[in-house]
Amino acid sequence: MLENEPCSIIENEYVKPGKGQAFNRVKLRNLRNGRVLEKTFKSGDSLEGADVMEYDMEYLYSDGEFWHFMATDGSFEQHGASEEALGDTIKWLKEQEVYVVTLFNGAVLTVAPPNFVELEVVETDPGLKGDTANGGNKPATLTTGAVVKVPLFINIGDKLRVDTRSGEYVSRA
Amino acid sequence: MWQPSAKREALLARQTLNQTIRQFFAERDVLEVETPYLSQAAVCDPNIEPMQTNDVRYLHTSPEYAMKRLLCAGMGDIFEIARVFRRGEAGRRHNPEFSMLEWYRVGWDHQQLMLEVADITLAMLAPRYPSLPVVKLTYADAMQTYAKLDVRQASDEEVARAGIGLAGQDLDLNRDGWLDVIMSHAVEPTLPANTLVFIEDFPASQAALAKVSADDSGWPVARRFELYFNGAELANGYHELTDAAEQRRRFSAEAQGRPVDENLLAALAHGMPECAGVAMGLDRLLMMVLGTDNIADVLAFDWSRA
């Protein structure tokens, strides 16, 4: 915990100048927004541990304010994520898909999508027959509202496999 | 974890280093000594924490006190290669148990000693660096050049502000604490590379057991130096304080409830010859010789495997 924000330590270097005071130069990642920051502490100083847990959870539904997930470990435990906690993952939400939900003090901190999701195209220019291999792409809007670049042969109603890390089209599903 | 953390090449480099040291001092008639690792008294330095054994002896954190008693007893120029122990000092460049070379030159000041430190360091680094430039900077110049801070003029608030900027937060330190932050965060990493850099004339408040006198501008400085090489501190030397009353005053100011070494104080009262002394971290030197940034690579078994 740093300034009330849960962080993970990426690097921790012990520094001691000559006869002087010892420090630890620490690189931390803010678990809420992913930002990396560098801070120096006096050696021996302690920080409060963050009560952070990761769970596999299935996406159920949204009530407009919260997006609800259910644990897949058989506990059927449910948690609602705010729009802020969802972040970019909102573009890749699909019912019955399993997400990694990070809980902090029992509340949803972040939701990470699987590396690949399959989503349907709801809007794109008409497909061009025969153009399967080379050149050209066009934007396609998916059921979640995400827009990805796709090859020209893709039609409305096609299911696509998308890499959520890059936001890129992989193949037709 | 039963395997060593060092390769055979590193063990061999250590053997070569020890031979270089013994030959260097044999040629200069400096006597090799061994002093106790376990002492009844502890170090007084507020920033160094000793380890204690069950029967209330302390593992030494450097052979300094015992060697000074030898100097007071008239043994002349002496050196020691010792294993020393410091609680909590573990990291990429620190192992709580490490090897130290310490030596004293009777009748010398720190300027003469710096020349010898440069000579032996060049000899020790020769397997990797056949020749290296040597530069000397004052503490004030180093702070001015690499941290844009005028330590002679800067107020405590200005020093703290510069330190907070580098640390990313207020660590509630005194002036010397913030100067340490600036030194380790801004100065050390930006000193010229592949160069032996001596920094001398530390603020008087960081004198430890060095003589204090005014520099050319009248600013009181500790007659002390540190040697840096490629971002790492390798050695720390002093024109040694010989005033017994002043030594007792500094000792008791820094003792923090640890037993003060009365044997040392008695020896100093008897009289310590004018001399200069220096301590060098041999594991760091080996890291430089082998081109590694991890102290575990030069230790047969590092702290986690010991």
Dmax over Cα atoms in chain B, in whole Å?
57
Q: List, for residues B261-276, the tens digit of each pLDDT value.
A: 889 989 999 999 999 9
Measure CA of the first residue to CA of the last residue in chain A; give whole Å: 42
Q: How far is B170 from chain A (nearest CA, A)?
A: 9
DSSP β-bridge partners for residue B48? none
Q: How far is A31 from chain B (nearest CA, A)?
A: 18
Interacting residues of B155 by C-beta distance below 8 A, sequence separation 6+:
none
B236, B292, B289: which is closest to B122 by C-alpha? Answer: B289
Flag whether pLDDT at A132 surpasses 70: no
Euclidean distance between CA atoms B220 and B107, whole angstroms: 23
Three-state secondary-structure class, residue A100? strand
DSSP β-bridge partners for residue A168? A163
Would you list which residues of chain A are within 8 Å, Cβ to Cβ, of chain B?
Answer: 13-23, 25, 37-44
pTM for the complete prediction? 0.79
Phi, psi for A105 (deg, rounded to 5): 50, 40
Q: Is the ipTM of this complex over 0.85?
A: no
Flag whether pLDDT at A47 surpasses 90: no
Q: List, for residues A70-122, the tens digit of each pLDDT value.
A: 999 989 899 999 998 998 899 999 999 999 999 998 899 999 999 999 999 99
Q: Please, are residues A112 and A99 in contact by the beta-carbon 8 Å criterion? A: yes
Residues of B in Cβ contact (< 8 Å) with A35? none
Cross-chain residue pair B94–A39, CB shorter than 8 Å: no
**Residue indicated by tokens 């025969």:** A130
Flag whether pLDDT at A135 surpasses 70: no
Flag whether pLDDT at B256 surpasses 80: no
By percentage, how much of chain A surpasses pLDDT 70? 94
Q: Name the burial class of residue B89, with classes exposed (0-12), middle (13-18) and buried (19+) by CB atoms within 10 angstroms of its CB.
A: buried
3-state helix, strand, coil in chain A (%, to 5): 5, 50, 45
Cross-chain residue pair B180–A17, CB shorter than 8 Å: yes
Euclidean distance between CA atoms A5 and A29, whole angstroms: 10
Residues of B in Cβ contact (< 8 Å) with A11? none
Q: How far is A17 from chain B (nearest CA, A)?
A: 6
By percentage, how much of chain B surpasses pLDDT 70? 100
Flag whether pLDDT at B23 surpasses 70: yes
pLDDT number for residue A130 = 59
Q: How confident is the model at residue B249 (pLDDT cuts 50, 70, 90)?
A: confident
Q: Please, are residues A110 and A85 in contact by the beta-carbon 8 Å criterion? A: yes
pLDDT number for residue B241 = 93
Q: List, for residues A18-41, the tens digit of each pLDDT value.
A: 678 899 999 998 988 888 999 999
Q: Please, are residues B209 and B272 in contact by the beta-carbon 8 Å criterion? A: no
* Pure H helices in chain B: 8-27, 64-72, 110-125, 139-147, 156-167, 175-182, 244-254, 262-270, 282-290
Euclidean distance between CA atoms A95 and A118, whole angstroms: 11
Euclidean distance between CA atoms A47 and B79, whole angstroms: 43
Residues of A in Cβ contact (< 8 Å) with B206? 19-20
Interacting residues of A54 by C-beta distance below 8 A, sequence separation 6+:
A100, A101, A102, A103
Q: How confident is the model at residue B15 (pLDDT cuts 50, 70, 90)?
A: very high
Mutation site for A-interface testing, chosen from B47, B86, B200 by largest number of A Cβ within 10 Å:
B47
Question: What is the rounded average pLDDT for all residues in chain A?
Answer: 89
Length of chain A: 173
Cross-chain residue pair A20–B94, CB shorter than 8 Å: no
Phi, psi for A70 (deg, rounded to 5): -130, 135
Q: List, for residues B120-138, the tens digit of each pLDDT value.
A: 999 999 999 999 999 999 9
B233 close contact with A: CB closer than 8 A: yes
Euclidean distance between CA atoms B128 and B191, whole angstroms: 20
- Give the Å distances, CA to CA, from A101 to A31, A62, A70, A165: 12, 15, 10, 16
**Residue indicated by tokens 């007659």:** B223
Q: List, for residues B86-107, the tens digit of each pLDDT value.
A: 998 888 999 999 999 999 999 9
Q: Kindly give the interhelix angle for B262-270 and B64-72, rounded to the nearest 10 degrees.
A: 30
Flag whether pLDDT at B278 surpasses 80: yes
Decide the pairing of beta strands B78-85 and B31-32: parallel
Residue A16's closest chain B neighbor by CA? B184
